[in-house]
């Protein structure tokens, strides 16, 4: 029986890129999954796996969730109580936390503890270039919980594509699975039980991103 992966359309994600990346991972590995892209809360409630992309500002993405009546309640019920497997991407990952200070203090979903503040541009990189915000480009990961299934066959030479200006601070150490370094330490993969979030874009991260998507699809929390 095919599992249904539902990519949530709330007006704030690069949906086609995410859909294509998941489709490639499914096809290349002969997995029995089907993908739906939807904003229909009834379809979301019946999904097996949930993916929440996110591009743009935190307040705009939060407003996008609120604008779909019942979506926030359905998401929290499916993830926290029915234990559906969930992946948040970029701002989709940020929304899993308490709040962000981007533009104006805005509440998140509160599934994980921590908040987002602007990246502190201190110092220079190894070529002597001053750090800039947004953090835009390729970075490797420091694997902090190396036995987590999401990190299977991933190593610290793999590169992932980041585009963001705000980073997670005040997070519990046991919720950070991998981090990167840009000006300072930035949590890159976080999670608890059945839900994970990535600050980077796996759908734009070539073979490294495909490997991570495959790990998530095969993961059995």
Do the bridges between strand 115-118 and strand 99-100 make them parallel or antiparallel, or are there none, so unpaired? Answer: parallel
Determine the pLDDT at residue 123: 62
- Give the confidence band of 190 by pLDDT, cuts at 50, 70, 90: very high
Determine the pLDDT at residue 46: 94
Q: Where are the domains of the chain?
A: 3-101+112-218
- Give the confidence band of 129 by pLDDT, cuts at 50, 70, 90: low
38 vs 171 pLDDT, higher one: 38
Query: Which position among 19, 61, 183, 203 bears the catalytic label?
Result: 203
110-127: b or e for each residue (b if 16 or more CB lie within 10 Å)? ebbebbbeebeeeeeeee
Q: What is the model's pTM?
A: 0.94
Q: Is the pLDDT assigned to residue 126 strictly greater than 70?
A: no
What would the pLDDT profile of 15-24 be if each residue is shown by its tens digit? 999 999 999 9
Residue 130 is classified by DSSP as B
Q: Is the pLDDT assigned to residue 113 strictly greater than 70?
A: yes
Determine the pLDDT at residue 136: 85
Query: For the domain bounded by 3-101+112-218, which CATH number is listed?
Result: 3.40.50.880
Q: Is 90 known to be catalytic?
A: yes
Query: Which position among 19, 135, 164, 201 bears the catalytic label?
Result: 201
Determine the pLDDT at residue 114: 92
Instruction: Provide mean pLDDT across the span 148-177.
Output: 90
The number of beta carbons lying within 10 Å of the beta carbon of residue 144 is 16
Query: Which position among 19, 61, 90, 102 bears the catalytic label?
Result: 90
- Give the confidence band of 125 by pLDDT, cuts at 50, 70, 90: low
Q: Is 203 known to be catalytic?
A: yes
């Amino acid at each position: 029986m095919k599992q249904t992966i539902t990519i949530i359309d709330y007006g704030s994600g690069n949906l086609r890129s995410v859909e294509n990346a998941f489709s490639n991972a499914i096809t290349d590995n002969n997995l029995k999954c089907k993908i739906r892209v939807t904003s229909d809360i009834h379809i979301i409630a019946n999904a097996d796996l949930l993916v929440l992309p996110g591009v743009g500002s935190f307040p705009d993405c939060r407003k996008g969730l609120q604008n779909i009546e019942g979506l926030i309640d359905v998401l929290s019920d499916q993830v926290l109580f029915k234990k559906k497997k969930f992946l948040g991407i970029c701002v989709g990952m940020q929304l899993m936390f308490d709040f962000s200070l981007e533009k104006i203090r805005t509440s998140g979903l509160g599934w994980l503890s921590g908040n987002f503040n602007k990246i502190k541009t201190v110092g220079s990189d190894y070529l002597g270039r001053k750090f800039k915000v947004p953090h835009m480009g390729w970075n490797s990961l420091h694997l902090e919980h190396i036995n987590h299934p999401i990190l299977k066959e991933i190593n610290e030479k793999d590169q992932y594509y980041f585009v963001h200006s705000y980073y997670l601070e005040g997070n519990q150490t046991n919720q950070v699975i991998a981090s990167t370094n840009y000006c300072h330490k930035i949590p890159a993969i976080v999670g608890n039980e059945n839900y994970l979030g990535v600050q980077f874009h796996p759908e734009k991260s070539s073979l490294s991103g495909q490997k991570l998507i495959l790990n998530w699809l095969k993961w059995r929390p």
